[in-house]
Structure 1
């Protein structure tokens, strides 16, 4: 079945639809990146401990806890979106996400309200994670369903593209804060300014989301499953969901390694300046933004499978050696070069992976299935990449150890890709045999 389109089918309306649907993605990633980058300041404000390592680990654990809520959000909100429609469902996810963001911004410090401070930070992260569980899937499926024939990869790449814009804006704001404020001011109150900006743009994003049109693909479906039916279909197709999770593992691990964890890695491990680490992250986001649609377009032209397999093999072969090279000679330029290489791998892989994941899920549970697979991967792999990287470096004493974590994720992705496309090939062969 060819992807349906949004009426009126004009270039201007399509661009507008892409902008409106990805605006919530921007907010989600903007807040997630800020939490990762300002982890040391958040640790100081909300999670004081006897050692800096313990304080930082508590902060990253709360950061990761938000990802543990994603699978629950994927199932509950994803099923809701498959039932009521993409437009209504995405407005609900935005509302929950905004609530979590406001909580984190407005909470006083641990010194002011004691244990209530980390409790409300955790609550805010859980709300953000719950909404994000279905946000990515809802946006990706929406883009896939409005794509013109033969360009699904290019269209769906803008889901991740909007996240890169969020990284650019967040990194630029952080770079500006470092130039205008001293470290003490940023530590005490300056880190809240970018989060406040995220709160201020929420009404604008609500305005954009309310103007979304429902997709023709959803409207043309004769019946829409009840939420209980969605749950049963997900259980029936558990192998596809698990394999999809493993295929996404490389995307989430690479993304959080080269963006969310990169500033902390640059400052605390490589001992580079905060400004240098932020500038590298900003340039990596620009690189991601360029490579993502290229990866989607290449997969439209040559197929998803060749791109996925090739980039997974390259990741397995080069992730650890690249970080070993960086750890041996840390500098602004070596960090930039290594992360741009990992950005190239991530961009081409993810550009093919997003449309592939929308294609392998049964149509009736497309949002829930996509969201669950993506959320499980984020919970198990990506979301805990900062914490896992911190632990691996602490335990092994090897500053390049995060490269081993990315290589492991790439192995999982490669095996899952081979399994999923073998299943697809067997299904096509069976259909051809039975129906000619």
Structure 2
């Protein structure tokens, strides 16, 4: 055993930057670096149960055996050598896959809860509005839907900060609990006939609660998957975020269809729509079990950093926040157009029957869900920059003709074919897939771990709130001519419009897809991000 020699007069002084202590035993060695920086380099420690302390930091060998249970604290740093630090690195492939599936399954429940509202909008709108115009009633109902999206930035700020400070797993558990509360509220809210204006107010409040939850979900799941997935498979695993998201929409639409077949249109519009919200709340509670078994993905939770997960720290990466915002604005708009809004578009614009519109939309969602893993694998082969470039260029060139062709597939159109409507939607889904399959990994890898959940989630949620979540309302606003007010003429109220048309909505999407081309060009190469952010 080597001996440690220290002069007595140095016991009460700071350790110099160049000073070091080496302790060895049983062929193991350890290093104590600068006391000012508070860093302890790995190594074994053998010796007695004594300890060494100085004003800037302290070292204690708790076991007097090996240094795995020791800890070192300094003024500007904190180190805890524990199993938690290397938890992610030591996980087996099967453990990683189970954790990713658990996070994704929770993502499924979150989005099933959120999209059940969209699927039931036509059945529940008359309970919360006092208009006899179906289009205006849907605008109001989808407007309340958009309110939930405007709460998403706040949710991403809250849960993103929590995810960076206390861990991704705990933050996702809190998010799923909040979503459950929102669903049970909607299931229990009385109609406008019973409580008057309080009905839409309470519905809006419930949507705000759900918006907070989903706002945190997007960034947390993308961050978690990017940290859990192994290099070379990140695109594939990242695609499961949208696999479960689309599966949730598929399940929501399927549940509504089955409920209509069982209860009938009249009973669904009367009260049966409430059962589906109650089911969504129960599923949310059940998903807590899955997320409780996940492994934490963050590597540096043990490190003390006051700026971790803060807006001040995120400000250093504002350029990347703008890139995430731009990508999400165009990507979410295209995605919501060909999925969330498509059921309404088929019925209101292409004039398909409600049943035919549901069936076409259901088949389209099934195709989109199965497509994502293959697009993710393609992303692993060619890289996320090329995927995003292909998406933005093809989207810009094709969205106008695709939407026009879908209208022509309706019963009154030149093509008059439900199958061809599905084909055109499928083309749009494939183009959107170049974005959706790798969206999570493309955004999460832009940021270092200490602000990854917040940096991925906040600009994403802001863009979705402004452009993705407003797609149904904006599309119907264009279709209605752009109403902006009303006036009374000869005792009758007339709606004032800007004279817009539905084609204006198509051009609106083209503009953002063109902007996305410019954004994709500025995405750094994957190799640069791996070195910069340790991903």
TM-score (norm 2): 0.75
- 2:36 maps to what in 1? none
CA drift at 1:77: 1.5
Looking at structure 1, the residues matched to 97 and 389 of structure 2 have their Cα atoms a distance apart, in angstroms, of: 31
Q: Which has the higher contact order (CA 8 A, sep 6+)?
A: 1
Looking at structure 2, the residues matched to 339 and 406 of structure 1 have their Cα atoms a distance apart, in angstroms, of: 16
Residue 330 of structure 2 is aligned with which of 240, 250, 268?
250
Change (3 A) 1:37 1:6: farther
Q: Which blocks of at least 5 consecutive residues in structure 1 are unaligned?
A: 432-436
Looking at structure 1, the residues matched to 100 and 319 of structure 2 have their Cα atoms a distance apart, in angstroms, of: 31
Asked if residue 289 in structure 1 is aligned to residue 369 in structure 2, the reply is yes
- 1:434 maps to what in 2? none
Asked if residue 365 in structure 1 is aligned to residue 451 in structure 2, the reply is yes
CA drift at 1:367: 0.4
CA drift at 1:312: 0.9
Q: Which piece of structure 1 moves more, 29-38 or 319-328?
A: 29-38
Residue 516 of structure 2 is aligned with which of 406, 413, 420?
413
- 1:9 maps to what in 2? 92
* Structure 2 residue matching 1:270: 3-state secondary structure: coil
Asked if residue 310 in structure 1 is aligned to residue 413 in structure 2, the reply is no
Change (3 A) 1:226 1:134: farther
* Structure 2 residue matching 1:20: 3-state secondary structure: helix
Looking at structure 2, the residues matched to 157 and 151 of structure 1 have their Cα atoms a distance apart, in angstroms, of: 10
Q: Which piece of structure 1 moves more, 379-388 or 91-100?
A: 91-100
Asked if residue 336 in structure 1 is aligned to residue 422 in structure 2, the reply is yes
* Structure 2 residue matching 1:360: 3-state secondary structure: coil
Asked if residue 52 in structure 1 is aligned to residue 134 in structure 2, the reply is yes
CA drift at 1:345: 0.9
- 2:472 maps to what in 1? 386
For residues 219-238 of structure 1, the aligned pairs below 5 Å read: 219-220=299-300, 223=303, 225-226=305-306, 230-238=310-318
Asked if residue 404 in structure 1 is aligned to residue 404 in structure 2, the reply is no
* Structure 2 residue matching 1:219: 3-state secondary structure: coil
Looking at structure 2, the residues matched to 277 and 383 of structure 1 have their Cα atoms a distance apart, in angstroms, of: 21
8 A contact 1:6–1:213 mirrored in 2? no
Q: How many residues are treated as equivalent by the alignment?
A: 423
Q: Which blocks of at least 5 consecutive residues in structure 2 are unaligned?
A: 1-85, 411-416, 482-498
8 A contact 1:80–1:227 mirrored in 2? no
Asked if residue 160 in structure 1 is aligned to residue 242 in structure 2, the reply is yes
CA drift at 1:210: 1.2
Give the number of the structure whose residues are more often helix, by fraction.
1
Change (3 A) 1:349 1:229: closer
Residue 399 of structure 2 is aligned with which of 305, 314, 319?
319
Q: Which piece of structure 1 moves more, 88-97 or 332-341?
A: 332-341
CA drift at 1:227: 6.0
CA drift at 1:397: 6.1
CA drift at 1:362: 2.9
Looking at structure 1, the residues matched to 129 and 520 of structure 2 have their Cα atoms a distance apart, in angstroms, of: 40
8 A contact 1:6–1:14 mirrored in 2? no
Residue 121 of structure 1 is aligned with which of 183, 197, 203?
203
CA drift at 1:221: 5.6
Q: Deviations over 1:289-308 (max 9, x none)?
A: 22222222112111111111
Looking at structure 2, the residues matched to 421 and 15 of structure 1 have their Cα atoms a distance apart, in angstroms, of: 28
Q: Deviations over 1:200-232 (max 9, x none)?
A: 2222101111111112xx234652544676210
Change (3 A) 1:227 1:38: farther
CA drift at 1:381: 0.8
Asked if residue 189 in structure 1 is aligned to residue 271 in structure 2, the reply is yes
Asked if residue 141 in structure 1 is aligned to residue 227 in structure 2, the reply is no
CA drift at 1:93: 1.0
TM-score (norm 1): 0.91
Higher gyration radius (CA)? 2
8 A contact 2:176–2:285 mirrored in 1? no
Asked if residue 299 in structure 1 is aligned to residue 379 in structure 2, the reply is yes
Residue 350 of structure 1 is aligned with which of 436, 447, 452?
436
- 2:76 maps to what in 1? none
Give the number of the structure whose residues are more often strand, by fraction.
2
CA drift at 1:48: 2.1
* Structure 1 residue matching 2:232: 3-state secondary structure: coil
8 A contact 2:238–2:439 mirrored in 1? no
CA RMSD of aligned residues (A): 2.3
Change (3 A) 1:275 1:51: closer
CA drift at 1:392: 1.4
Asked if residue 105 in structure 1 is aligned to residue 196 in structure 2, the reply is no
Looking at structure 1, the residues matched to 463 and 284 of structure 2 have their Cα atoms a distance apart, in angstroms, of: 27
Q: Deviations over 1:83-116 (max 9, x none)?
A: 0001111111111111111111111111111111
Residue 209 of structure 1 is aligned with which of 272, 286, 291?
291
CA drift at 1:188: 1.0
8 A contact 1:83–1:227 mirrored in 2? no
CA drift at 1:61: 1.1
8 A contact 2:387–2:435 mirrored in 1? yes
CA drift at 1:402: 4.0
Structure 1 segments, 4+ long, off by >6 Å, are none
